[in-house]
Structure formats: C-alpha cells, structure tokens
Amino acid sequence: MNDQIITDPALALTDDLSRRGFVASAAAVGLAASATTWGFNILHPRDAFADPNSPIEVKYSMCDMCNHVPKCGMKCFVQEGKVIRVTSREDFPNAPICSKGVASLQELYDPDRILDPMVRTTPKGQAPAWKKITWDEAYKTIAEKFNGVKAKYGADAVLFYCGDPKEMRPVMTRLATWFGSSSNGTESSVCSTATQICAQLTFGPGGPSGATPSANTKSCLIWSQNAAWSQPYAFSALLDARERGVKFVMVDPRVTPSVESLADIHLQLRPGTDGALVAGMINQIIENNYYDREFVENWTHGFDQLKEYVKDYPPQKVQEITWVPAEKLIAAAKLLYDNAPSTMVTSAKGACHQENVGNFQRGVMMIPALLGSLEVSGGIMWGMRGPISLDGNATTGAFSIESTYNAQGFRQRRHDLKDFPVWAELIYLMQTVKLPEYVKDGKIRAGLFCGTNAMMWPNTPLYQKAIQDLEFSVGIDYYARYWTHDFMDMVLPAAMCYERDATVGVYGNRIFMRQKITPQGQAREDWQILLEIGCALGGGEFFFDGSVEKAIDFNLKQGGSDITYQQLKANPQGLTLPTVQNEPKKHVSGKIRSDGKPGFNTPTGKIELVSTVLEKHGFNGLPIYKEPTYMPTKEYPLLLNTGSRLPFYTHSKLRGLPWLNQFMPDPVIRMNKIDAEDRGIQDGDWVRVFNFQGEIKVRAAITNMVMPGVTDIYHGWAVADVNKLTTRNFCPITGFPGFSTGVCEIAKA
C-alpha cells in the first residue's frame, strides 16, 4: 500500500476504534489542526498498514499512557504484525481503557517517531542537525564518554535520570549503582515523592499515604484529587462507594468533575493555604472531642503540642486565610466524625506543588489518625506483604541494589544532601530540582535521560541550559522533542508499550505480561537499551548479557516468586497467586514494625504528630503553616495555579496526536467570569499571561470552575510553557516547587 491520507468521516469517541479510524479522524480535523502551532503530519508511512485480507491475531498488552506503569488492559487485534484495533481487555483489574489508551495507536504509527539512533552533528547552542548511527556506534560512544567523565571527575558526575514512563526505573537504578553513581533521579522529584516523604515522617517507612473506600468505609476525605480526569480507572470505584452511601469531603480550589460527582461538602480553598485549612480541621476535631482518645494516648507522639498549635486556627481565622466559609469547615469535621470509619485519598501532585507541602500534607495524614481510622476495617490499613514483591508497579525493590548503594556510602556523597537533608535521609533517589546548580558547579557533567521532559521543572530555560551545558547527554524517547532533545548530544529510539516485554504488571495477587509486537524501525524497549548500555560499560553478566528475558526472570525470583518469563508468556490471561488476607490492629500484634514489636515504624514507634526526624534536621516537627512566597499584588493580582490534569493529555504527552488534539487544540487558561469581564476578555480570546518572569500566549476559557482571583492553567504545552512563569521556591523538606502558588496578570492579546 502506498503512502496515503485517509479521508473518511470523523468517528465518534468509543473505546473500540481502529487505527484506520484514527487516521480518518485525524484527516477530518486536519484543517483545524494545521492552523495550530503543532503543524501535524497526518501522512502515514506505508509500513503502518496491513493487508486487510490477512488473518487477525489477538494479543494482550497493558497501557502506560497516563500513569506511566502498566495500568489498564488492552486487547489488541493484529494483522501482519500491525495493531489495527484495540479494545479493553476482558477480566482485567483496570478497565476500561480511556481515550488516551485508544489513541495510543496513532502514536504507535506516528510518522514523526524516531526509529533510529541519532547523534548530533552541530554544536550545542545551534539548531540541531541529526545523523543516523547504529546501535553499536551509539553504545560505544556512550561508554567512552561516561567512562571518561568517571575517570576524570568520579562516577557521581554522571546523572542517570528517568521520566515517563516509570517502567525502566529499576534497571536504571541498577545501572547507576553498578556504575558507582549516587546521581540517580526521577521525575518523582516534582511528582509523588512529597506524599511519600510525608507518609514516612508521619507513619514511618512503608506507611500508607491513603486508601480508597472499602466495603466498611462510611466517609472519605479527598484532598485535591480529580480522579475523573487523572485516574479514570479508579474513578468508577469512588462512584460505586458513593452509591453505597459513603460520604465525601472534597478539598479543591476548583469545582472539578470529581467534586460535582462526589462531594457532600466541598471546601474550595485559596491555592497554597492547605496548611491553614488542615490546622483548622484538626482544631475542630480536638475542640469537639471528635478524636479517638484511646488511640491518641497510646499510639501518637506530640498530641499536646499539636493541640496547642491548632488553637491559633479557629474556623473564622481559617476562613480569612483560606476563603473557606467557617460553617463549611465545622460541618466537614463533623461529617467525618459522624461517619466513621473514614478513609483518605491524597493527590501525589496537585496541592503538593507548593512550598509548604512537607508540613500541610503531614497534617492531612494526621486526620485519620486522630479520628481513630487507622488499622481498622473501612479505614486506612498497612498492607500485608503480598505473594510477590516486584518492580512491575514500583520504582525500586527487588531488582535494584539498595544494599550495595548503602554499603558504598552513596548517601554521604549525594549532591542534594545539604540542600534537602530530609529527602536525602528518606529517599535514596536524588532530588533533582537543583540540577542547574549542580551542572554550573561542575558536580554533574554527563547524563542519561530516559523519557525526560525539560518542561517539568520551574523556570524551564534554566534546565534546558543545564542539559545543554553538560559535556555529553543522551536521551531515550519516542520522539526527538525539541524542548528537551535540542539540548542533547544523542537520542535513542524507545519502543512503545505494544512493543515491550518489560515490565510485568502486578495487581494484588494477579500478575500479567504483555504480548509484544515487533518494534517499529530500530526501536528497542527501555529495559533492553539500559541493559545493553550496562554491557557496553563493562557490566556484562551483571546486566544479564543484555537479555530482557533473563532480567525479568531475575526480577521475579528476587521478588519471591517461582513464576518465570516463559510461564507468563504462555498465560496471556495472567496468573493468579495465593490471596493474602489483611487484618486490623497490626500495630498491636507487632506486624507493622520491622523488629516485630508493637507500634509503627517511626523513631518513637508511634504516629508522629510532631516529627522527630524533622527536629533532628533543625525543622519544627509540627505541621506549621507558611504563606506562599508570592502573593497577589496590584501589578499581578491573580493567583496562578498550574499542574492539573486533563482526561486526554498526560503532562506534555499526546498533544501531537491529531485525534486527541481536536479536544483541546490550543493551550488554555481557565478564569472566572468576573475577572474576564474586568479585563474585557471573552471566552476563546487569545490572551497574554505574564508576570515578572515572562509571558505566554494562550486562549481564555471563562468558567465557574475557578473562583474570582484564581486561574487554572494546564502545563505541558511547548508553545506556551507555563513553567516559564513558575518560580524556584522550594519546600525545604521535600524540595517541591510552588507550581500551584504563583501570581500573574492576564490581558487580551
């Protein structure tokens, strides 16, 4: 079949669309798309099509389009090695697939994918020109450059970094540790790790950061999560819980679809004031004797200090700070008390993107502890060790070599040790937000960047320059994305989820593996690339001689399973392992602490309402509220809230797919009608969004989703990168930036 443009009518949104349909849809919106700054190419190469008369084979895969690890099941219809249609996988824990999963076929056969290793032929700082090279040439160059930097400056001068997806993290950690580098980071340095740190400080290592409602749950506190858009595979469970009668308290500065669908009480706060709101909720729990006296007296540390601190946050004062009406705060605390047991769902992003996250998020986690909803059925429980512990849905563990990391004293050499000592104590992946400083100081001189997005950090140009200033850098990705890879020396083609074996998907006591198709062009899956780089560096046997199958078998064995790669390949519907039943009150029976003693895995053995780890590092152990650095002024009167998700994009991903781009072809800022009228702005107008850092141009969306004085802007648009406007004010505990607490002004363009 020759290269062609398909011109059938546009198709309706379903979870059962063919690739030919996607191309048709792309053509139908082609005129509109061509007017945008993306300049889509809807001409598909001839090898993207199969003979329609050839036999159809069914294969099974797992999507990673939104949550970056195997999540939702895919049933793939394959002709001549080409995926022609995808539907939701039957009898799979996560279903159905959403628009992103369906549209992934368009990405799979995107003519703009890079399908060969490429090396830069122009000096960095100039427009890049790329030359195709062989894999052997690429590996030889990487080995020479990395070993050269190591010999001259030490192994820590080479950064090993993972972005999206997360599936390659275990192998990258193994590679970094074997190489001898403590410079091993991930995108979680501005994503989920703040929540993880707060859970560790409050509950101890292994402590939960929350739990979705179960059969015995009566109420649920959801703090700044819009699962309807960010976790469609989980949102249905929340709707089911509401149908069962579970009451919901929702905290969010926006009126999201999740708020509209679930909330009995919506606490719509001013962005950045979460710490004051949580202090007010704890004030009400204590003042009204809603707390579980027996649990608090026996299993918490620092209650009297917390009680004294929250006296300064009565409902009326909290209203003045947060804009949440006092009566709503009072009602929310009572609802959670009256409907026990209660559980909690927190956002790994959202509200965490502020300078006070290391305090306010701990306060949120204290609420179920005070209410007596820990280690009770229907509340929040520590998980029992399952039948297998794998890196399939985790970032470290059996396949990494943490013991080697500790034995070699990596922690003491880390570049982030002085900047973020609490992070460095609790998390053995480095905090990367100060990459520009580490490059400028000569501490990092080369880097391997897998699925990396330079727009993920605040003040994007600083990080682009840092990557450019490295002596040598390599990217592994599906595309040569100009906002990131224009600053690198080499780009390697990664295989997509349809084209990968690794990694396995673990869902409770069920385990699955993909059935891959042959990768496009010269693309290779991330595990294979990293294993082969390890071999090129001299690791050979330690990297299983580049064999993904051997690496998966090792991972399964280290995780405590006798299952093999071949068994999983022979069972496309997955394998079911023995069920492990959870049990309440494990803190009493000694099944939470690693030493088997009653209590929790904190230094005090109790839930720490006052953190002894923070006190050790010179911080106040209480969840102290702190106002954001930047507050509205006459010049910049609007709050700039960034970082929210969309149901059809993930960060900067997928915006180049015409089938999805039709839903939001241009960058958008949401603003209240009152603010728009004050500025003479109408819905759909092009507007300038600016502050003391810079300016971007976007379309205005007039909505009651946000309050007057507050904006909501989506990140990830290379043509209108909002992180050119965000500042590098970091939480001293977690290192997280204030993505949700900026300021700006808007004017008609």
pLDDT mean over 595-609: 97
- The reported pLDDT for the residue numbered 581 is 84
Look at residues 62, 86, 108 and tell me which one is the last residue of a structural domain.
108
Q: How far apart are CA 99 and CA 644, in angstroms?
A: 18
**Position 554 in a domain:** yes
Would you call 235 helix, strand, or coil by DSSP?
helix
Q: Quick one: 144 and 223 in the same domain?
A: no
For residue 318, pLDDT over 70 is answered with yes
The domain that holds 536 is classified in CATH as 3.40.50.740
pLDDT of 489-509, one tens digit each?
A: 999 999 999 999 988 888 888
Q: Which two tokens stand for residue 349?
A: 């992003």
Q: How far apart are CA 438 and CA 443, in angstroms?
A: 5
In 129-231, alpha helices (H):
135-153, 169-179, 193-203, 227-230
pLDDT of 625-677, one tens digit each?
A: 999 999 999 999 999 999 888 888 888 888 888 889 999 999 999 999 999 99
pLDDT mean over 511-527: 95
**Position 684 in a domain:** yes
- The reported pLDDT for the residue numbered 389 is 62
In 415-547, alpha helices (H):
421-426, 435-440, 460-469, 482-485, 526-536
- The reported pLDDT for the residue numbered 648 is 86
Q: How far apart are CA 3 and CA 10, in angstroms?
A: 20
For residue 158, pLDDT over 50 is answered with yes
- Judging by beta carbons within 10 Å of its beta carbon (0-12, 13-18, 19+), is residue 637 exposed, middle or buried? middle
Residue 388: pLDDT band with limits 50, 70, 90: low
- The reported pLDDT for the residue numbered 21 is 37
**Position 293 in a domain:** yes
Q: Do the Cβ atoms of 158 and 446 come closer than 8 Å?
A: yes
For residue 407, pLDDT over 90 is answered with no
pLDDT of 76-102, one tens digit each?
A: 999 999 999 999 999 898 878 888 888
- The reported pLDDT for the residue numbered 535 is 98
Helices 526-536 and 135-153 meet at what angle, rounded to 10?
60
The domain that holds 326 is classified in CATH as 3.40.228.10
Look at residues 54, 87, 108 and tell me which one is the last residue of a structural domain.
108
**Position 626 in a domain:** no
pLDDT mean over 50-72: 85
Look at residues 108, 127, 150 and tell me which one is the last residue of a structural domain.
108
- The reported pLDDT for the residue numbered 387 is 62
Phi, psi torsion values for 162, nearest 5 degrees? -120, 135
Which tops the pLDDT comparison, 403 or 667? Answer: 667
The domain that holds 644 is classified in CATH as 2.40.40.20
pLDDT mean over 194-203: 95
- Count of domains for the chain: 4
For residue 583, pLDDT over 60 is answered with yes
Give one word for 596, left, alpha or beta, with left for phi > 0 and alpha for psi -120 to 50: left
Q: Quick one: 130 and 220 in the same domain?
A: no
Would you call 301 helix, strand, or coil by DSSP?
strand
Q: Quick one: 77 and 163 in the same domain?
A: no
Residue 219: pLDDT band with limits 50, 70, 90: very high
Q: How far apart are CA 239 and CA 585, in angstroms?
A: 28
pLDDT mean over 276-300: 98
Average pLDDT, the chain: 89
pLDDT of 237-275, one tens digit each?
A: 999 999 999 999 999 999 999 999 999 999 999 999 999
- The reported pLDDT for the residue numbered 69 is 73
Residue 23: pLDDT band with limits 50, 70, 90: very low
Q: Quick one: 452 and 536 in the same domain?
A: yes
Quick one: which of 368, 312, 274, 422 has its CA closest to 607?
368
Q: Quick one: 406 and 525 in the same domain?
A: yes
Which tops the pLDDT comparison, 343 or 506? Answer: 343
Residue 560: pLDDT band with limits 50, 70, 90: confident
For residue 105, pLDDT over 50 is answered with yes
Q: Quick one: 403 and 511 in the same domain?
A: yes
Strands 219-223 and 247-251: parallel
Q: Quick one: 212 and 345 in the same domain?
A: yes
Q: Quick one: 157 and 243 in the same domain?
A: no
Counting every residue written for the chain, the total comes to 749
- The reported pLDDT for the residue numbered 650 is 84
For residue 347, pLDDT over 80 is answered with no
Q: Quick one: 369 and 464 in the same domain?
A: no
**Position 588 in a domain:** no
**Position 216 in a domain:** yes
**Position 32 in a domain:** yes
Q: Quick one: 95 and 142 in the same domain?
A: no
Least confident range from 192-206, 374-388, 453-467, 474-488: namely 374-388
Phi, psi torsion values for 708, nearest 5 degrees? -55, 140
> Residue 362 belongs to what domain range?
204-384+593-616
Q: How far apart are CA 613 and CA 420, in angstroms?
A: 13
For residue 477, pLDDT over 50 is answered with yes
Q: Quick one: 486 and 444 in the same domain?
A: yes
Give the torsion through C-alpha atoms of 444, 420, 643, 446, to 10 deg.
10
- The reported pLDDT for the residue numbered 450 is 96
- The reported pLDDT for the residue numbered 36 is 30
End-to-end CA distance of the chain: 46
Residue 67: pLDDT band with limits 50, 70, 90: low
Q: Quick one: 250 and 276 in the same domain?
A: yes
**Position 621 in a domain:** no
Cis check: omega of the bond before 165, within 30 degrees of 0 = yes
pLDDT mean over 20-39: 31
Residue 232: pLDDT band with limits 50, 70, 90: confident
Residue 400: pLDDT band with limits 50, 70, 90: low
**Percent above pLDDT 90 for the chain:** 72
